């Protein structure tokens, strides 16, 4: 799966050492029935057939009946934690 979003890089033109800033933004949409118990909005999820297409708000979102939701450990919310064991514990 992939999320819809924008990405950009900017280089400071006047610096002796090239500083490059990277910025990304994920598009969000109204929550679908599958995610409603978790949050009031969700990222725009792209279907694999749409990975190479331009963003179009009129396109239908990824179908909820093709998604699966499951509970994960609260530690998932901290970027310091990483590993598949977080998917198996609650």
- Report H helices in the chain: 85-88
Q: What is the pLDDT along the chain (90 residues), one digit of tens a residue?
A: 788 888 888 887 776 666 778 888 888 888 878 888 888 888 888 888 777 766 666 667 778 888 888 888 888 888 899 888 887 755
Is residue 4 within 8 A of residue 27, CB to CB? The reply is yes
pTM above 0.85, yes or no: no
Distance in angstroms (rounded) separating the CA atoms of residues 23 and 43: 17
Quick one: which of 43, 35, 39, 42 has its CA closest to 5? 43
Is residue 7 within 8 A of residue 23, CB to CB? The reply is yes
Element (H, E) at 29: strand 28-30
């Amino acid at each position: 799966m992939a999320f819809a979003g924008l990405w950009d890089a900017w280089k400071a033109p006047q610096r002796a050492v090239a500083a490059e800033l990277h910025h990304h933004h994920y598009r969000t949409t109204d929550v679908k029935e599958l995610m409603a118990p978790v949050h009031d909005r969700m990222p725009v999820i792209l279907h694999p057939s749409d990975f190479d297409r331009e963003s179009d708000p009129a396109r239908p979102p990824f179908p909820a009946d093709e998604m699966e939701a499951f509970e994960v450990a609260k530690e998932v919310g901290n970027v310091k934690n990483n590993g598949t064991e977080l998917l198996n514990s609650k």
